[in-house]
Amino acid sequence: MKQGITIDQFKELSELNQRKLYKWANSNSRNYLICGPFLYKDMIENGCFPLLSIGQMIEFLEKEYYDWHFYLGNNMAENTEICDILWEAVKEILEK
């Protein structure tokens, strides 16, 4: 089971939304940044990306969109990862 988003998923965001997510992750009291030699454009000067886990995405959704609800049921497509469903919800909130 996938536990968090990938760098490629983070790069799916527009630069504006990357900055929004980075700002949220960096301002949080917990360390939500994964650091490494990844430099993507100049936006993240220290080479750190907010590669959110399942729990961190749920926290983001609860804080940024308080009326958000997550339901699991038998209607999920085969091989659908919970992580990817949450990531789509996070992207949707960032785009608003």
pTM: 0.74
75 Rama sector, left if φ>0, alpha if ψ -120 to 50, beta otherwise: alpha
- Tokens for 61, please give them: 């959704």
Q: What is the pLDDT of residue 78?
A: 62
66 φ, ψ to 5°?
A: -60, -20
Per-residue pLDDT of 29-75, as tens digits, reads 565 666 654 444 444 556 667 788 898 898 898 888 766 666 666 55
Per-domain residue ranges for the chain?
7-94
